[in-house]
Amino acid sequence: MADTDPGQRGTLQVRGRAIEHLVEAAVLTTPGVHRHARALTGLIGQDLPRVDAVVAGDHVRTSVAVAAEWGRPLAALSADARDRIATALSDHAGLVVDGIAVHVAAVVPPGARERELQ
């Protein structure tokens, strides 16, 4: 059997929801970013992180709202999160990243992750 050029084997379509899950997983690896449930979820507000992604062809723009740990430098935390998201999108989904906006929507007390896991 002759080797087939990888570009001729088929296509990959990544759905928007899959991209949102990938972004969520990537942002949660950022030190100081925590999963955060709003007290009245369902009535007002939403859980964090909250991801909105727009995919057009092989390009993506995403906006992420996160909960940051108190005492973390927010500019550095946001830059680290953007880098992790960009790497995940390009490495795992093969997408060209046109923009990533990270919004700190909540600040949580230190040790919130340890309480999450209990």
Q: What 3-state class would DSSP assign to 23? A: helix
User: How many other CB atoms are found less than 10 A from the CB of residue 6?
Assistant: 7
DSSP letters, 34-56, are: E-B--TTTTTS---BSEEEEEEE
Q: How many domains does the chain have?
A: 1
Question: What's the pTM?
Answer: 0.79
Say what the pLDDT of residue 46 is.
75
Q: What is the CATH number of the domain that holds 112?
A: 3.30.70.1350
Say what the pLDDT of residue 8 is.
65
Say what the pLDDT of residue 110 is.
85
In a domain, 56, yes or no: yes
Structure tokens at 118: 């209990």
pLDDT tens figures, 52-81: 999 998 999 999 999 999 999 999 999 999
Q: What does the alpha-carbon distance between residue 39 and residue 80 come to, in Å, rounded to a whole number?
A: 28
Domain holding 24, by residue range, is 15-117
pLDDT tens figures, 16-61: 788 999 999 999 999 999 998 865 545 566 789 999 999 998 999 9
In a domain, 82, yes or no: yes
In a domain, 77, yes or no: yes
- Residue 88 vs residue 45, higher pLDDT: 88
Q: Residue 32: left (phi > 0), alpha (psi -120 to 50), or beta?
A: left
The structure tokens 């550095």 sit at 76
Q: What 3-state class would DSSP assign to 78? A: helix
